[in-house]
Amino acid sequence: MKYIFNIFMINKKKDQILGSRRFSNYWWATITFIGGISFFLTGLSSYVKLELLPFTNSIDILFIPQGVIMVFYGTLAISLSIFLWLTIIWNVGAGYNEFNNESGVITIFRLGFPGKNRSLLLEYRIKDIQAIKIDIKDGLTAKREMYLKTKDNREIPLTCVGQPLRLSEIEKQATELAKFLGVVLEGID
């Protein structure tokens, strides 16, 4: 599954960033909800001595301490799944990176949680950009990120959070972007 989609125009480049609506988030929100409901109903069944879950024998579980713990963990899991579903519904993290050579402006837009600061809109002038930087760390928690490095040494992330891109893919994207903006590429040894 590709996480960044390119739209090329004559002097514009726009990368769409996929937010929270990834398969892994749908998967974990669903699994956490099912597990939470199961734990909650099992704990509740041990309290009311009535089988609330089919195909189980949870009325034999003692309410104190096992039933209480299961209700507690079930409530936590349901709360976590609600949070995950809300981030999916609100599409937190989605947006775009737009590079416009005509106007000389780079626009970075992201959606956040609802409220006063739901939308994050950053604009930079292309002449203030020093380089495109790639940060690659392999290992147990692989990290492959691309940054926009400004002349005052700020690093603005351009890649989305989630599964890391393949090494060849991120190098290709960074090289194309550096050529498009007319800046150097850092981080490739």
| pLDDT for position 181 | 87
DSSP string, 110-144: EE-SSSTT-EEEEEEEGGGEEEEEEEEE-STT-EE
Note whether 108 and 94 are within 8 A (CB): no
Which residues of the chain have a pLDDT value below 50?
1-3, 5
Residue 85, pLDDT score = 98
Sequence-ordered list of residues with C-beta below 8 angstroms from that of 43, at least 6 positions apart, any chain:
61, 63, 66, 67, 68, 69, 70, 71, 72, 74
Q: What is the pLDDT of residue 2?
A: 46
For the domain spanning 4-19+92-186, the CATH number is 2.30.29.30
| Contact indicator for 22, 162 with CB cutoff of 8 Å | yes
Q: What is the pTM of this model?
A: 0.78
Domain boundaries, given as residue ranges, for the chain: 4-19+92-186, 25-90
The pLDDT of residue 71? 95
pLDDT of residue 159: 79
